[in-house]
Amino acid sequence: MLIWDGEDGMRPASLAATALAGVLLLMAGCTSVSKKEYKLGQNAQALQDYETALIHYERALKADPTNPQYKIGVAQMRFNAAAAQVANMFDSVHGGVTGAPKVPQPAFL
């Protein structure tokens, strides 16, 4: 191992350890952000606020792009948000007649 005492007095090994610690902290922060956003999405979904739920699920997915649960949440909320918009358009065209179908909720979410 090379010993380097530059202006900051740090050695290459300590620089690598510091960089690794920083990366690990960032990754841990992303996980907590994604979990928080996912929970906010679940809360909005329970209130049938699908557009807000979609925003939170997309944020969770952005923070943790490999999480399949977040991918499913985004896909489901895109469907629910679109179905809700169609239902609202149907009701407005037909004078408030509530003939639009209810948006089904999957059991696994």
Paired tokens of 63: 């923070």
- Residue 2, pLDDT score: 47
Domains annotated on the chain, with CATH:
34-93 (1.25.40)
**CA–CA distance, 89 with 68 (Å, rounded to integer):** 32
Q: What pLDDT score was predicted for residue 25?
A: 46
Q: How confident is the model at residue 107 (pLDDT cuts 50, 70, 90)?
A: low
Q: What is the pLDDT of residue 89?
A: 85
Locus of tokens 């399949």: 68
7-56 pLDDT, tens digit each: 555 555 555 555 555 554 455 555 788 999 999 999 999 998 999 999 99
Residues 54, 57, 62, 68, CA torsion sign = negative
Span 58-90, pLDDT tens digits:
999 999 999 999 999 999 999 998 888 888 888
Residue type, 108: F
Q: Which two tokens stand for residue 8?
A: 């900051």
Banded pLDDT at 108 (limits 50, 70, 90): low
What's the length of the chain?
109
Which residue did the predictor score with more confidence, 5 or 73? 73
The count of other CB atoms within 10 Å of the CB of residue 84 is: 16
